[in-house]
Chain A
Amino acid sequence: MPWKRLLDIGRSMTFAVILLSILAISALVGVMWKDQEEAKEWIYHAWWFKGIFVFLIGDLLLAIVVHADRTWRYAAYFLTHGGMIMTLIGFGIGGKFGMEGYLMIDVGKHASQLNELNLRTNHLQPKAPDQKLPFEVFLERFHIDHYPPPPPCLVASFADTKKEVKISLDRGDRLRSPDSKYQIEVLERLACAEQKFVVVNRSDQVRNPAVQVRAGRNGRFFLGYLFAAFPGIPVTQTPLLVMDFKYGLDEPAWKKRIQEARKGLEASLAFEDENTGEGNVLPVDFNREQVLGKTGYRLRMLRAVAGVKVDMATKKTEELTGLPTNPALRVEIKASDGRKHERYVFAQPPPPFMEQKLRGPFDKLKLGYNYAPPLGKDFTCVMLNSGDGRKFSVASLLPSGKTHAVSFLLGEEKQLQPENFRIQVLNFLPDARVEEKIMPAETGGRPAIRILANGVLGKVEKWLMLNAERGMEYPDHNLALRYVQDPPAIRQYHSDIRFLEEGKMGDAATVSVNDPVTHKKFAFYQIDYDKEQGQWSVLKVVANPGTPVLFTGFGMLFVGVVGMVLTKPKPEGTGRI
């Protein structure tokens, strides 16, 4: 009889092995499929794939019936194969009769409309209007638990291996890099320190001349430094004023001046190309693309900002308005091969020119932003001139482009155009440098450590401020060290919700990750949240009638498999399992 023959095939172990093999091969194809959404469509949710499971259930049923026996071995066999059947049926019920969706709720608001997740775009989109919960869910509060912040540590980056290693400072004051090439010693620790940039003179040779001046008019003066030189640039073209921003000036005046600076009136951008030696100063002009001499680079100035803050935790850059704490230009640079790079060029720290090296095709290009705070309508800035024969003068640059220069003697007050502007040169520094100083602070500071790195090129000492962008580079250009404290890690997310039934506030519950809440037949899971401001939360809502069957199947399967291991099989050929 053909049906008997079919039955024999169906209940045979060979058929089961063939089915399991087809299942494994099909699943492997699904795994290798690049777009998993397509894999679901063509394999996992396809009729033929489900058909394999139907055949498998039939085969398992037949196997249970055919091998029926009153032994412990059969009990284990029954539980294993019956557990498989229950598991597959549980999944089937869930797929056929289950319901799921996402609730996106703002804090202080309620929602019942379900959304679905588009995995390709990773965005939620509303389901059909009738896909609603029979009650509303009100989000009272969304909150995050954090772990205690980790202790600060040293982060060592190695150029040769391109690896970054964290070195714990709990191990004492004498540390070793993991490759043992460097010894690092912590010389001093400050719990609260502040970073200042001071101008110092390094030698008596005229290399980078600067003067300390007191200048101003109408009773308002500033104290600051004028730098003459920028390597490769004619000094007369590099007007730059370094000054104490806070001195003698009030906030509204600064805001106004920043607005003027944005118009490109009082600033310039200097460049130097290490490959060609080409360098020059460009006026700030936001309207056109400028050619950087013969370097092959083209540059477009996008905007000027009063201050830029870098969040060390997220590496996100935030543009600040208001006080010009850290003025910068946003520029787009284009290399000769067409590659583009967009970045900030900072005016400080440290003035006068911060060498801001770029990567890739731009790594030989140095840029500096000369942010010269304006002194008034009738002239733009004062500068230090070094003419032929090393005769120095201080000068003012007038809107007409002309300069008015006067020679000076230390301590002597001089008159500069425009009228009433007086300048007094307090000090002359032939080889001026801007140096970073770390000093103890009572409030508003950050921790800092002074370290000594010792390697094949000798000892190098440096202060490292916590989470500062720039750390220490050992002279071999292989080791770089930073002092870093990671932000506290997230321990748990919670959504405090209430169920609203017919307009009345009902039960309160807290949904957390791995700790869902069930209300009526619906289970609520914490899935996503507003990562920037914590103002909304996404809960997954599931109603799955197949869960009890599935869990029963899991239990039977596990007990059965253990039983199969613990009971001895009958010899092959007896027809028994």
Chain B
Amino acid sequence: MDILLTQTALYLYVGALLLMLTRSVQPRLTRWVPLGVLLLGVLFQLVGIVLRWRILEWTPVTTLYEVMAYLCCGLAIVILFTFWKYDLPWVASLALVLLSGTLSYALYGQDTNIKMVVPALRSHWMAIHVSAWCFSYSAFSLGFVVVVALLVLRRLDLNPSMQERLSTLFYKLVLFGFPFHTLGLITGALWAKNAWASPWFHDAKEWTAAITWLIYAIYLHLHRKELKGADWLGILGMASLVFTFFGVNYIPSAQQSAHAYVSPGEPNITPLFLMMTPFVALMVGLWALGFWKIGDKRITSAI
């Protein structure tokens, strides 16, 4: 039943994406329609999570599917609140592509069966730890979408006021995500101390999470200096984030990691590439446009 609800949420997210795309070319469509559909999706997903919680009798974040679904719910909430305040249909559409892609990968690329909670995960730190990551990942992921749009505009040398708006939004998203990321690191250490006797193992996953924290900490410091180049750290931060979540499983040291969801066999990272394709294509495509100086001013009005 919970899977059905999550699938419905996915269809609603895709619906919200299509409506948001429509709005970006047809401004007469009010943004409350796509946002209303998105809100409905969030409600469906929340009910799905609560149902699974009741079946499992534990926070449903014990499998890769559950963690990704939980993360998507957080991302949907952050998208909803952000674009409630900021009317940026193109950026919202990109964010909804990321959300729908990730949830599709979770639903159709992962094992959705309920697994009993293993002893190492039976800690109350887990719910706080994963929830903290959920909001930090959501904010940083959305920040990545915003920073892509910002860097494209900057490259095309268009709409300085919009650039300013996007830059502020990115800063606010990092500011929102950073305390959650800090909490995620701290609760992770406290949990590790309780379960494995040591708060830090120099494990690959621990260090990549710390590297992500360092990247955003550097960004927050550089932002004080008003360095425009600092926005590039949004791309680097997202790369580090994705690497922490997926990439660590496929590096040589993963076999020695206590965190990796590693199973023997060849890694399947194709869906990940598919998910990132729209962003990479957008960056490369518009970069090329900027290179030949054929940017159209109308693009920015849509963004």
Residue pair B248, A493 in contact (C-beta under 8 Å): no
Q: Does A235 contact B (CB under 8 A)?
A: no
Give the contacting residue for A17; candidates B113, B204, B218, B256; CB below 8 A. B218
Q: Does B194 contact A (CB under 8 A)?
A: yes
Binds A, one of B29-37, B116-124, B144-152: B116-124
Chain B residues lying within 8 Å of A166, measured Cβ to Cβ, are 113
Binds A, one of B66-74, B94-102, B222-230, B273-281: B222-230
Chain A residues lying within 8 Å of B217, measured Cβ to Cβ, are 20
Which residue of chain B has the shortest Cβ distance to A150 in the bound complex? B116
Chain A residues lying within 8 Å of B178, measured Cβ to Cβ, are 561, 565
Q: Does A27 contact B (CB under 8 A)?
A: yes
Q: Does A23 contact B (CB under 8 A)?
A: yes
Q: Does B246 contact A (CB under 8 A)?
A: no
**Binary A-proximity of B225-269 (CB < 8 A = 1, otherwise 0):** 110000000000000000000001001110011000000000000
Binds A, one of B12-20, B39-47, B181-189, B287-295: B181-189
Q: Does B214 contact A (CB under 8 A)?
A: yes
Instruction: List CB contacts (< 8 Å) of B185-211 with chain A.
Output: 186, 189-191, 193-200, 202-204, 207-208, 210-211
| Given A36-B204, A557-B186, A558-B186, A17-B221 contact (CB < 8 Å) | yes
Sort chain A's interface into a size bin: 35 or more
Q: Does A313 contact B (CB under 8 A)?
A: no
Residue pair B222, A17 in contact (C-beta under 8 Å): yes
Which residue of chain A has the shortest Cβ distance to B230 in the bound complex? A17
Which residue of chain A has the shortest Cβ distance to B123 in the bound complex? A514
Give the contacting residue for B214; candidates A24, A550, A561; CB below 8 A. A24
Chain A residues lying within 8 Å of B196, measured Cβ to Cβ, are 525, 527, 540
Which residue of chain B has the shortest Cβ distance to A542 in the bound complex? B197
Report the minimal beta-carbon distance from B171 to chain A, rounded to whole angstroms: 11
Report the minimal beta-carbon distance from B15 to chain A, rounded to whole angstroms: 23
| Given A493-B119, A514-B119, A516-B197, A565-B218 contact (CB < 8 Å) | no
| Given A40-B202, A561-B179, A565-B178, A512-B119 contact (CB < 8 Å) | yes
Report the minimal beta-carbon distance from B148 to chain A, rounded to whole angstroms: 22
Report the minimal beta-carbon distance from A100 to chain B, rounded to whole angstroms: 7
Q: Is the interface of B mostly helix, strand, loop or mixed?
A: helix
Chain B residues lying within 8 Å of A493, measured Cβ to Cβ, are 119
Binds B, one of A217-225, A322-330, A373-381, A484-492: A484-492
Which residue of chain A has the shortest Cβ distance to B182 in the bound complex? A561
Chain A residues lying within 8 Å of B191, measured Cβ to Cβ, are 514
Q: In the assembly, what is the distance between CA of A492 and CA of B122, in Å?
A: 8
Q: In the assembly, what is the distance between CA of A39 and CA of B252, in Å?
A: 12
Q: Does B175 contact A (CB under 8 A)?
A: yes
Residue pair A513, B122 in contact (C-beta under 8 Å): yes
Chain A residues lying within 8 Å of B221, measured Cβ to Cβ, are 13, 16-17, 20
Residue pair A36, B119 in contact (C-beta under 8 Å): no
Instruction: List CB contacts (< 8 Å) of A143-163 with chain B.
Output: 147, 150
Residue pair A20, B214 in contact (C-beta under 8 Å): yes
| Given A27-B210, A36-B202, A493-B119, A554-B176 contact (CB < 8 Å) | no
Q: Does A387 contact B (CB under 8 A)?
A: no
Report the minimal beta-carbon distance from A34 to chain B, rounded to whole angstroms: 4
Sort chain B's interface into a size bin: 35 or more
Chain B residues lying within 8 Å of A17, measured Cβ to Cβ, are 218, 221-222
Q: Does A572 contact B (CB under 8 A)?
A: yes
Chain A residues lying within 8 Å of B189, measured Cβ to Cβ, are 554
Which residue of chain A has the shortest Cβ distance to B217 in the bound complex? A20
Q: In the assembly, what is the distance between CA of A306 and CA of B196, in Å?
A: 45
Report the minimal beta-carbon distance from B12 to chain A, rounded to whole angstroms: 22
Q: Does B215 contact A (CB under 8 A)?
A: yes
Chain B residues lying within 8 Å of A100, measured Cβ to Cβ, are 197-198
Which residue of chain B has the shortest Cβ distance to A539 in the bound complex? B197
Looking at A492, A540, A561, which has the most chain B CB atoms within 10 Å of its CB?
A561
| Given A27-B207, A36-B204, A558-B186, A514-B195 contact (CB < 8 Å) | yes
Q: In the assembly, what is the distance between CA of A119 and CA of B193, in Å?
A: 19
Residue pair A516, B194 in contact (C-beta under 8 Å): yes
Q: Does A291 contact B (CB under 8 A)?
A: no
Chain A residues lying within 8 Å of B183, measured Cβ to Cβ, are 558
| Given A24-B214, A27-B210, A31-B208, A558-B198 contact (CB < 8 Å) | no
Residue pair B179, A492 in contact (C-beta under 8 Å): no
Which residue of chain B has the shortest Cβ distance to A122 in the bound complex? B256
Chain A residues lying within 8 Å of B251, measured Cβ to Cβ, are 31-32
Residue pair A550, B199 in contact (C-beta under 8 Å): yes
Which residue of chain B has the shortest Cβ distance to A84 in the bound complex? B217
| Given A36-B202, A492-B122, A525-B195 contact (CB < 8 Å) | yes
Q: In the assembly, what is the distance between CA of A44 and CA of B176, in Å?
A: 30
* A–B complex contacts, Cβ < 8 Å, 29 sampled: A17-B218, A27-B214, A28-B207, A28-B208, A28-B211, A31-B207, A31-B211, A31-B248, A32-B253, A35-B253, A36-B202, A39-B202, A39-B253, A147-B116, A489-B118, A491-B122, A512-B119, A513-B119, A514-B120, A514-B194, A523-B197, A525-B197, A554-B189, A554-B190, A558-B179, A558-B186, A561-B178, A569-B224, A572-B225
Given contacts A20-B221, A492-B122, A565-B178, 20 further A-B pairs with CB under 8 A are A21-B218, A27-B210, A27-B214, A28-B211, A31-B211, A31-B253, A34-B253, A36-B202, A36-B204, A39-B253, A40-B202, A100-B197, A166-B113, A514-B123, A516-B194, A527-B196, A540-B197, A565-B176, A565-B179, A572-B226
Q: Which positions in A face B, CB cutoff 8 Å?
A: 13, 16-17, 20-21, 23-24, 27-28, 30-36, 39-40, 44, 91, 100, 119, 147, 150, 166, 489-493, 512-516, 523, 525, 527, 540, 542, 547, 550-551, 554, 557-558, 561-562, 565, 569, 572
